[in-house]
């Protein structure tokens, strides 16, 4: 028995030494960066309809509730896929899965561009949701393989930042393209982009290294061939459920406001053009892109997860509430609150670092996917709910600032609940 223990300790030290050497240099950044590029792409495609909402309603003769439902089909496909995605990544790695997913996402954009009926429009969103479901979790999984734990919150924040940069490209720049070339041509171009990213991933991202698999088995004494052991461990962890609920609620400025209804709200409430409102919404995403890495770095630097999330959620709630006054605020001040809302919402990225730290190496992707399932479920539920509130407060399809304001109340309430739930979080072992 003593000899077995010595052999185990020797193998464990060797595996950790190999991992430490492999996780240095520029290659880990390259592998993660290419995977994260897919997340940037899918976020662009996800929010693209927000600058086309009025045109889509006219072309397909829809009201706000119908549009909200069709756009939320993305989340209906995305959310349940998370339970499969996490298990698949933990079992098979990222290379083949991510490249195949990028092809499916590109196909969804193509179907959207070709749509002549709402059914095909919805099919495009479903395909995009299925393909996109691998993007964020895949990028995070690549990071857990190639980076040490002490950088996790920073990498999570940077991944979220790249995604929101994609969302920013899907606002003002896409608005210009839609005005110049039309929404169909813009989505055709997005479809080609998906195929290009698939090829890029296949060429650059390596297969999962043997040293990572050995380390997973030595750390946890669990075979990586057991596909469902990780899901069982994740589902029966109460803290993971709490983290998932908080992540959902802190993300509503992006999933509901930024992804669909924000453009129309700013244009109507502030009395500005569609181009100006699109540029304003771009600031929301740029704020998130800045806040995610910075708040993640602070979390790593001071070895705390709960406090940055609590403070970020609290300030985000206040800024979101101030946006209810957009109709009486100067436009420049509305833009400032959009930036601040996005910045403090960036604390949401820390929830994924907590999810990773809650669980063993063999089920980290499953844990991230479980949390992401809740985040996307929030988008699926809240986007059409926002649209339904608009229809309930209006007698026509011409929504006023007051109609939008009534629906907007949903958002700061969600943020406040998420912030209060942080009280029951337990700090994870974040080195």
CATH architecture of 9-424: Up-down Bundle (1.20)
| Helix-helix angle 350-357:274-301, to 10 degrees | 40
Residue corresponding to tokens 């699926």: 380
Write down the pLDDT at residue 213.
66
Separation CA 299–CA 342 (nearest Å): 18
| Residue 159 tokens, joined | 């991944």
Q: What are phi and psi of 330, to 5 degrees?
A: -60, 145
Query: Which residues are CB-contacts of 209 (< 8 A; sequence separation ≥ 6)?
Result: 22, 145
Separation CA 145–CA 206 (nearest Å): 11
Write down the pLDDT at residue 350.
93
Q: What are phi and psi of 429, to 5 degrees?
A: -80, 85
Using a 10 angstrom Cβ sphere, with 0-12 exposed, 13-18 middle and 19 or more buried, the burial of residue 179 is: middle
Separation CA 199–CA 57 (nearest Å): 35
Whether pTM exceeds 0.85? no
DSSP structural state of residue 208:
P
Residue corresponding to tokens 């589902």: 235
Separation CA 371–CA 272 (nearest Å): 37
Using a 10 angstrom Cβ sphere, with 0-12 exposed, 13-18 middle and 19 or more buried, the burial of residue 399 is: buried
- Residue-range domain boundaries for the chain: 9-424
Write down the pLDDT at residue 185.
92
Q: Which helix (H) or strand (E) holds 354?
A: helix 350-357
Write down the pLDDT at residue 2.
55
Write down the pLDDT at residue 216.
67
Q: Which helix (H) or strand (E) holds 171?
A: none
Per-residue pLDDT of the chain (431 residues; tens, 9 = 90+): 455 445 545 555 565 666 666 667 788 899 999 999 999 999 999 988 888 888 888 888 888 778 878 888 888 888 889 888 888 888 888 899 999 999 999 999 999 999 988 899 999 999 999 999 999 999 988 988 888 877 878 888 899 889 888 988 887 889 889 888 988 999 999 999 999 999 999 999 888 776 676 666 666 554 445 556 677 888 889 999 999 999 999 999 988 888 778 888 898 888 888 788 888 988 998 899 899 999 999 998 888 999 999 999 999 999 999 988 877 889 999 999 999 999 999 999 999 989 988 887 777 888 888 998 898 888 778 878 888 888 888 776 678 888 888 888 889 999 999 999 999 998 876 44
């Amino acid at each position: 028995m003593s000899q077995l223990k010595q052999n185990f300790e020797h193998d464990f030290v060797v595996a950790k030494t190999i991992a430490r050497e492999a996780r240095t240099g520029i290659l880990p950044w390259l592998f993660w960066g290419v995977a994260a590029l897919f997340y940037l792409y899918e976020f662009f495609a996800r929010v693209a309809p927000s600058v086309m909402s009025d045109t889509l309603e006219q072309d397909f003769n829809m009201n706000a509730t119908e549009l909200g439902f069709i756009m939320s089909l993305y989340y209906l496909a995305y959310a349940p896929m998370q339970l499969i995605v996490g298990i698949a990544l933990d079992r098979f790695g990222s290379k083949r899965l991510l490249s195949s997913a990028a092809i499916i996402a590109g196909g969804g954009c193509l179907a959207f561009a070709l749509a002549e009926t709402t059914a095909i429009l919805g099919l495009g969103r479903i395909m995009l949701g299925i393909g996109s479901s691998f993007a964020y979790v895949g990028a995070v999984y690549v990071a857990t393989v190639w980076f040490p734990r002490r950088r996790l919150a920073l990498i999570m924040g940077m991944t979220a930042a790249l995604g929101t940069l994609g969302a920013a490209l899907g606002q003002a720049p896409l608005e210009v393209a839609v005005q110049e070339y039309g929404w169909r041509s813009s989505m055709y171009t997005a479809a080609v982009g998906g195929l290009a990213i698939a090829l890029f991933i296949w060429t650059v991202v390596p297969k999962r290294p043997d040293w990572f698999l050995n380390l997973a088995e030595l750390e946890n004494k669990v075979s990586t061939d057991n596909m469902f052991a990780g899901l069982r461990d994740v589902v029966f962890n109460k803290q993971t459920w709490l983290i998932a609920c908080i992540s959902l609620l802190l993300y509503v400025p992006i999933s509901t406001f930024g992804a669909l209804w924000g453009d129309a709200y700013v244009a109507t409430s502030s009395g500005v053009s569609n181009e100006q409102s699109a540029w304003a919404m771009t600031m929301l995403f740029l704020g998130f892109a800045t806040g995610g890495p910075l708040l993640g770095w602070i979390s790593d630097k001071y070895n705390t997860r709960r406090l940055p999330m609590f403070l970020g959620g609290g300030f985000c709630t206040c800024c979101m509430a101030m946006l209810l006054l957009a109709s009486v605020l100067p436009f420049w001040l509305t833009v400032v609150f959009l930036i601040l809302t996005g910045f403090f919402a960036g604390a949401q990225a820390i929830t994924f670092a907590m999810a990773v730290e809650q669980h063993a190496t063999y089920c980290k992707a499953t844990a991230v996917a479980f949390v992401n399932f809740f985040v996307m479920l929030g988008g699926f539920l809240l986007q059409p709910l926002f649209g339904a509130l608009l229809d309930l407060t209006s007698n026509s399809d011409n929504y006023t600032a007051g109609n939008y304001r009534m629906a907007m109340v949903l958002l700061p309430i969600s943020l406040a609940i998420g912030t209060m739930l942080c009280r029951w979080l337990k700090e994870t072992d974040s080195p």
